[in-house]
């Protein structure tokens, strides 16, 4: 008969206690699953990126006005801050006289005084616009959707097609590049002499800032 605890006993419960081995062996630690953190982390990163884009598009640079040296005496002159006042001016508008330059978001817009134009299709008022990229990155511009005209009655008209004019196109400008073209508007019936305001507002921006050029016709 085998004596418990003696060599030769194959019962594991009758083996002598060895302090070096400890009372028992700890089970191996389970590996943490990584995928839940990936699922949670990726949307957070995407939301952060979208927030940065929205903040950038809403904020923008403060607009500044540069007065033209050859601005006609009959035109109002630009002032400090947000520039000239005009009927219907909003808090975020920056206004200058026709012929002056307003720089915003690294693009310098020079909008010449309005002139009357006509064709077989109707009567217009047009302004020659020059846009220059004064920044260090490529920048977009739009020659149609971004432009409108407020007439003396307070009616705001979108830009229109004038077949006899070289209309401002749309595209991109490299740093230091510039483009020139005409922006035209229908001459509304009954809109006589008074204050006409050429308005620019970036269609693809969430900002409510407008640039304005005040003309007296």
* Cβ count within 10 A of residue 210: 20
Q: Which residue has the tokens 């009927």?
A: 87
Q: What is the CATH number of the domain that holds 90?
A: 2.60.40.1240
Whether 75 is covered by a domain: the verdict is yes
Q: Which residue has the tokens 């990584």?
A: 34
CB within 8 A of 116, min separation 6: which ones? 123, 124, 125, 187, 217
Give CA–CA dist 101/64, Å, rounded: 8
Q: What is the pLDDT of residue 123?
A: 87
Whether 179 is covered by a domain: the verdict is yes
Q: What is the pLDDT of residue 72?
A: 44
Q: What is the pLDDT of residue 203?
A: 82
Whether 131 is covered by a domain: the verdict is yes
Whether 130 is covered by a domain: the verdict is yes
Q: What is the pLDDT of residue 181?
A: 96
Number of domains in the chain: 1
Mean pLDDT by 10 residues, the chain (217 residues): 52 54 55 50 47 40 78 41 86 95 96 89 91 96 92 92 89 97 84 90 80 95
Does residue 49 sit in helix, strand or coil? helix
Whether 48 is covered by a domain: the verdict is no
Whether 125 is covered by a domain: the verdict is yes
CA 161 to chain centre: 26
CB within 8 A of 107, min separation 6: which ones? 131, 132, 133, 134, 135, 139, 141, 173
């Amino acid at each position: 008969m085998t004596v418990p605890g003696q060599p030769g006993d194959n019962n594991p419960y009758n083996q002598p206690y060895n302090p070096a081995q400890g009372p028992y062996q700890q089970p191996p630690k389970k590996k943490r699953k990584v995928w839940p953190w990936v699922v949670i982390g990726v949307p957070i990163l995407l939301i952060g990126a979208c927030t940065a884009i929205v903040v950038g598009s809403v904020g923008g640079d403060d607009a500044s006005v540069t007065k033209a040296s050859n601005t006609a005496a009959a035109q109002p002159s630009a002032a400090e801050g947000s520039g000239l006042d005009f009927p219907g001016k909003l808090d975020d508008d920056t206004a200058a006289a026709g012929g002056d330059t307003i720089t915003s978001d690294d693009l310098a817009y020079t909008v010449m005084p309005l002139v009357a134009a006509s064709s077989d299709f109707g009567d217009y008022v047009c302004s020659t616009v020059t846009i220059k990229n004064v920044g260090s990155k490529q920048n977009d511009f739009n020659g149609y959707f971004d432009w409108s005209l407020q007439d003396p009655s307070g009616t705001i008209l979108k830009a229109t097609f004038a077949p006899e004019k070289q209309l401002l196109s749309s595209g991109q400008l490299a740093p230091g590049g510039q483009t020139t073209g005409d922006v035209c508007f229908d001459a509304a019936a009954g809109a006589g002499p008074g204050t006409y305001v050429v308005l620019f507002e970036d269609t693809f921006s969430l900002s409510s800032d407008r640039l304005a050029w005040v003309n007296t016709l």
